[in-house]
């Protein structure tokens, strides 16, 4: 170790340090250029897709642009799909959890505890790839979106205090991420309501706010007390709503939820991302895309894992 420090103090060490610095700068520049290129392609494809948003979709996108969240959106015309979703998902049962890694004992992912095999015929795949939802996500990103993840989430009470995503945090992977939560059970203050700090998304006044936090080995989490030090509680949006409600939230902004005190919470959760999202897709394609898939749908599944990957 001592030899290493001695080497750094020599001219060779100085050159090595300079080279390392230049390499890191170059890698950063290449990454930025790649991101810009990808976003430009997605932007041009979005522009040429000529999808016109209806009034409700426009309202949702402007709520998202302003606050980072759009709630109580149950009029999108997905009622029949939600009815089917409720019927199917009520038959799902919790699967064995994998051991190791970061566990959320309060959350069961009912389609798979890991990667989900995307079935374009299933009600889950059909809802998440519904053009009305893809259009909203793409308009929010100003570029055609990817669908990186979907699953049915069952939240249950546990005999412990708030932990992991039940505490305030920002999701990693890009400067903006759009989650869609489709409520299959009513969402109440006691069965895992969702909380969001208004304006903490990329376009909001609190985009750069970093609250005091504690690292749990996976991510930085803040409790209410820590959040209160830097934010006004009047900006904390507390989301509840009846079954059938769709909530869109940019979860790069501060949020928390899923703390069940009584009963349980069941919802369809999907994550839409920009092309430069750095996280892995949690979906695997096992059957070919339908022949009549739209351009938006093809783009949405661009980053999906193929075959046995
Ligand atoms: O379960 C919730 O309500 C919060 C979810 C969450 O933190 C997340 O999706 O990152």
Q: What pLDDT shows up at residue 225?
A: 97
Q: What pLDDT shows up at residue 18?
A: 87
On whether the CB atoms of residues 248 and 201 are closer than 8 A, the answer is no
On whether the CB atoms of residues 236 and 197 are closer than 8 A, the answer is yes
Q: What pLDDT shows up at residue 309?
A: 55
* Band of pLDDT at residue 102, cut at 50, 70 and 90: low
295 Cα to the center of ligand 1, angstroms: 29
Q: What pLDDT shows up at residue 16?
A: 86
249 Cα to the center of ligand 1, angstroms: 10
Largest CA distance in the chain: 72
Q: What Cα–Cα distance (Å) separates residue 104 from each residue in 108, 180, 273?
A: 8, 20, 23
Give yes or no for residue 143 CB within 6 A of ligand 1. no
What's the chain's Rg over C-alpha atoms? 21
Give the mean model confidence (pLDDT) for residues 172-184: 96
Mention every residue, 6+ apart, whose C-beta is less than 8 A from residue 107.
153, 154, 155, 156, 165, 258
Which atom of ligand 1 lies at the shortest distance from residue 169's CA?
7
Hey, which CATH number is domain 54-306, 2.60.40.10, 3.90.1720.10, 2.60.120.620, 3.20.20.70?
Answer: 2.60.120.620
Extract the tokens encoding 67.
Answer: 């606050």
**Structural domain boundaries of the chain?**
1-50, 54-306
Query: Model's pTM, two decimal places?
Result: 0.90
Per-residue pLDDT reduced to its tens digit, 271-309: 999 988 989 999 999 887 778 889 999 999 988 887 665
- Strand 255-257: give its sheet, edge to edge: 236-239, 194-197, 255-257
Per-residue pLDDT reduced to its tens digit, 225-263: 999 999 999 999 999 999 999 999 999 999 999 999 999
108 Cα to the center of ligand 1, angstroms: 13
Per-residue pLDDT reduced to its tens digit, 110-153: 999 999 999 989 999 999 999 999 999 999 999 999 999 999 99
* Best residue among 240, 257, 266 to mutate for probing ligand 1, ranked by most atoms within 8 Å of CB: 257
CA distance 75 to 24: 48
In the predicted structure, residue 4 carries a pLDDT above the cut 90 = no
Per-residue pLDDT reduced to its tens digit, 187-196: 999 999 999 9
Per-residue pLDDT reduced to its tens digit, 50-87: 778 999 999 999 999 999 999 977 788 899 999 999 99
Q: What pLDDT shows up at residue 100?
A: 60
Per-residue pLDDT reduced to its tens digit, 6-54: 777 788 888 888 898 889 888 888 888 888 888 899 999 999 987 789 9
Per the DSSP assignment, residues forming a β-bridge with 153 are 109, 267
CA distance 72 to 92: 25
User: CA geometry: angle at 267 spanning 108 and 298, to 5°?
Assistant: 100
Q: Which region, left, alpha or beta, applies to residue 50 given φ > 0 means left and ψ of -120 to 50 means alpha?
A: left
| H-helix or E-strand spanning residue 101 | none
Q: What share of the chain is helix, strand, coil (3-state, %, to 5)?
A: 35, 20, 45
Q: What pLDDT shows up at residue 73?
A: 75
Give yes or no for residue 251 CB within 6 A of ligand 1. yes
Q: What pLDDT shows up at residue 101?
A: 55
3-state secondary structure at position 34: helix
């Amino acid at each position: 170790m001592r030899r290493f420090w001695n080497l750094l103090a020599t001219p060779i060490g100085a050159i090595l340090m300079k080279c390392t610095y230049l390499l890191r700068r170059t890698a950063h520049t290449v990454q930025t250029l790649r991101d810009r290129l990808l976003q430009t392609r997605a932007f041009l494809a979005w522009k040429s897709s000529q999808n016109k948003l209806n009034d409700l979709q426009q309202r949702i996108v402007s709520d998202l642009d302003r606050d980072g969240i759009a709630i109580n959106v149950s009029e999108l015309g997905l009622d029949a799909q939600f009815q089917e979703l409720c019927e199917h998902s009520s038959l799902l049962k919790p699967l064995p959890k994998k051991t190791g890694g970061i566990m959320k004992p309060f959350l069961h992912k009912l389609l798979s505890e890991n990667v989900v095999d995307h079935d374009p015929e299933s009600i889950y795949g059909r809802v998440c790839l519904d053009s009305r939802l893809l259009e909203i996500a793409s308009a929010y990103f100003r570029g055609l979106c990817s669908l990186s993840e979907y699953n049915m989430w069952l939240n249950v009470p546990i005999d412990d205090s708030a932990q992991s995503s039940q505490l305030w945090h920002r999701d990693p992977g890009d400067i903006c991420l759009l989650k869609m939560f489709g409520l299959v059970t009513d969402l109440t203050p006691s069965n895992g309501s969702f909380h969001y700090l208004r304006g903490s998304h990329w376009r909001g006044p609190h985009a750069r706010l970093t609250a005091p936090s504690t690292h749990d080995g996976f991510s930085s989490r803040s409790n209410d007390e820590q959040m209160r030090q830097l934010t006004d509680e009047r900006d904390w949006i507390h989301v509840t709503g009846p079954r059938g409600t769709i909530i869109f939230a940019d979860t790069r902004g501060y949020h928390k939820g899923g703390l069940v005190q009584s009963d349980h919470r069941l919802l369809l959760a999907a994550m839409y991302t920009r092309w430069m999202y750095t996280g892995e897709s949690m979906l695997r394609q096992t059957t070919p895309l339908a022949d009549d898939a739209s351009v938006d749908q093809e783009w949405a599944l661009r980053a999906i894992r193929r075959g046995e990957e």
